[in-house]
Amino acid sequence: MKKLTSLLVLASLVATPALALAATYNDVPVVDVNCSRKVAADPDSHTRDCALKCASSGFGIVTRDQKFLKFDAAGNAKIVEELKASSKSDHLRVDVTGDVQGDTLKVATIKLR
């Protein structure tokens, strides 16, 4: 019985990372969580200033099928650096890679376009 329990625990630990789906999104809008619903119809109108003001809410992307994927903490930190270094005022788009886990994107790389 102990062997069976150990085997099941081991199998669940091995399977958990497999549930994450590797993904690449190119030229997609990035918006903060606070404004994600407000700008859903036109995410390119969302401004850099607003995004930085609302940075504490976190960020995410609007996918081509109009779903919102939130970034993990590391992704949020990376996009804040990108936004601060940018002179773009709106039309904030990124190329991003990472693992999708539910409605969250665990960001591996991100680049503001």
Sorted by where each begins, the domain ranges of the chain are 20-112
pLDDT for 65: 87
pLDDT for 12: 55
pLDDT for 66: 85
Q: Which residue has the tokens 């036109």?
A: 42
- If 0-12 CB within 10 Å is exposed, 13-18 middle and 19+ buried, where does residue 32 land? buried
- Which positions ≥6 away from 55 have C-beta within 8 Å? 32, 76, 80, 83
Q: What is the pLDDT along the chain (113 residues), one digit of tens a residue?
A: 556 455 455 555 555 455 567 999 999 999 999 999 999 889 999 999 999 999 999 999 999 888 999 999 999 999 999 999 999 999 999 999 999 999 999 999 999 99
The alpha carbon of residue 55 and the mean position of all alpha carbons in its chain are separated, in whole angstroms, by: 13
pLDDT for 40: 86
- Record the pTM: 0.79
CB-CB neighbours of 10 under 10 Å: 10
CA 101/CA 21 separation, integer angstroms: 7
pLDDT for 2: 59
- Which positions ≥6 away from 112 have C-beta within 8 Å? 30, 79, 82, 83, 86, 88, 92, 93, 94
